[in-house]
Amino acid sequence: MNLVLPDWPDYELLDFGQGEKLERFGSVVVRRPAPGAQGPRRNARLWAQAQLVYDRRQERWHRQGRLPDPWLVSWGPLVLELAPRGAGQLGVFPEQAINWQWLLDQQRLLQAPPEDEEDRGLLNLFAYTGGSTLAAAATGAAVAHVDSARSVVTQARRNAQHSSLDQRPIRWLVEDALRFAQRELNRGRRYRAVVLDPPSYGHGTGKRRWQIQRDLPELLRVLAGVSEGCRRLVLLTWHTRRLAPQQVQQMAEEAGLAVPGARWESGSLFLTAACGTRQLWSGYVLRAASAGS
Ligand SMILES: C[S@@+](CC[C@H](N)C(=O)[O-])C[C@H]1O[C@@H](n2cnc3c(N)ncnc32)[C@H](O)[C@@H]1O
C-alpha cells in the first residue's frame, strides 16, 4: 500500500534530488538534507529561492532575511510551530500528516468511554513535537505523550496551545519509551491505542541508546502487555529501509500485538514533488484498527 500525502496548503515538496529536498512551509522555502532523495533535480531555478538552507558539511543552518516569528503551519485542527533545529530538522515531519488523518478517522474508537478503569487511552511513544498526540487529542482521546528529549516535549506543549488543545487530557512525559511502557505495564495501566514512530537510533533518558533492530521486538512485547484486553488500534511508523514491513508485522505478531478482529495494513509513506510526478519515499507504516471504528 502506498500512502501519499494529500494536498496541504501550508506545505509543499517543491523538488528533490542529489541528497536534498526543497520544501515550502507556510511562506518559507527551505533546502535541507534528505538521504533518500537520489537522482537529478528537476528545476534548478527553484533552488535559488531557498530562504533557509541546512549546510550538510558545516552542520548548520544559513538564513536569508527574517523568518516569521512565530513560524506556524496549520493542518486540520493542528497549528504547529517550526524552528531551525539540529540535523536539519524543523519540528515537523510532513509525511506524518498521513497518520494524523488516519487517527482523526478513528474518532469513534478513540473517543469511546473506557470499558475498563485502567484504560488510559492512547500511548504515543517517540512522540516528538506532538502531531499525532494532538490529532488524537482532537478526537477526544486521552493521550500519554512520551519522548526522551525535554526540548521537543516543551515544543509539543506549545503546539497544544497554538492548536487550542492544551486543555485536553494529555500527559506530557520526558521518559525513555521502553522504560516508561514497562513501568505502565507493571502498574497495571492499559492503553486501547498504541502509536510509535521510533528512530533508527536514538538516546533514551539514561545511558542506554535506542537501536531499532535490537530493541523493537522487546518494545512490541511490552506494548502487547500494556494494551492487553483493550487493544483497538496500533500505528507504527519507521524510517529505515533495512526493516521491511513484512518483518515488522511478523515481529508484532510474535509479540502478540495484533488487534482483535482487524487486519494489518502496511506500506510506504510518500511525499509528491510539486514540480513533477516524482515521489519521495519517507518511511514505512504498519497499522490496524478495530472494525466498526
Ligand atoms: C523520528 S522522531 C519522531 C517523529 C514524530 N513522531 C512525528 O510526528 O513526526 C524520533 C523521536 O524519538 C525520540 N527518542 C529517541 N530515542 C528515544 C527513547 N529511547 N525514548 C523516548 N524517545 C526517544 C527523539 O527525541 C525524537 O523526538
User: Which residue is associated with the grid cell 514491513?
Assistant: 245
Q: Which residues contact 223 (CB under 8 A, 6 or more apart)?
A: 123, 181, 194, 196, 234, 255, 257
> pLDDT > 90: what percent of the chain?
90
Rg (CA), the chain: 19
Rounded to an integer, the average pLDDT of 163-191 is 97
The whole-chain average pLDDT of the chain stands at 95
Task: State the Cα–Cα distance between residues 178 and 184, nearest whole angstrom.
Answer: 10
Tell me if 279 sits within 8 A of 271, measured CB to CB: yes
pLDDT score, position 143: 98
pLDDT score, position 208: 78
pLDDT score, position 291: 79
Beta bridge partners of 188: none
Please give the distance, rounded to the nearest whole angstrom, from the Cα atom of residue 198 to the centre of ligand 1.
6
**Poorest-pLDDT segment among 70-74, 77-81, 117-121, 286-290:** 117-121
pLDDT score, position 276: 65
Ligand 1, pocket residues at CB < 6 Å: 93, 96, 126-128, 131-132, 147-149, 152, 176-177, 197, 199, 202-204, 210
Quick one: pLDDT band at residue 85, thresholds 50, 70, 90? very high
Long-range CB pairs of 50-58, under 8 A, 24+ apart, other chains included: 50/22, 52/28, 52/84, 54/30, 54/84, 54/88, 56/19, 56/20, 56/88
Domains along the sequence of the chain with CATH: 2-75+82-88 (2.60.40.1180), 93-289 (3.40.50.150)
Rounded to an integer, the average pLDDT of 91-114 is 95
Candidates 96, 146, 148: which one to mutate for ligand 1, based on the most atoms within 8 Å of Cβ? 148
pLDDT score, position 293: 47
Instruction: Say whether pTM exceeds 0.75.
Output: yes
pLDDT score, position 284: 98
Rounded to an integer, the average pLDDT of 226-242 is 96
Beta bridge partners of 145: 124, 172
> pLDDT > 70: what percent of the chain?
99
Task: State the Cα–Cα distance between residues 290 and 19, nearest whole angstrom.
Answer: 39
Tell me if 251 sits within 8 A of 219, measured CB to CB: no
Closest ligand 1 atom to the C-alpha of 93? Answer: 9
Please give the distance, rounded to the nearest whole angstrom, from the Cα atom of residue 181 to the centre of ligand 1.
14
pLDDT score, position 292: 58
pLDDT, tens digit (0-9, with 9 covering 90-100), for 25-37: 999 999 999 989 9
Closest ligand 1 atom to the C-alpha of 204? Answer: 19
Task: State the Cα–Cα distance between residues 265 and 258, nearest whole angstrom.
Answer: 11
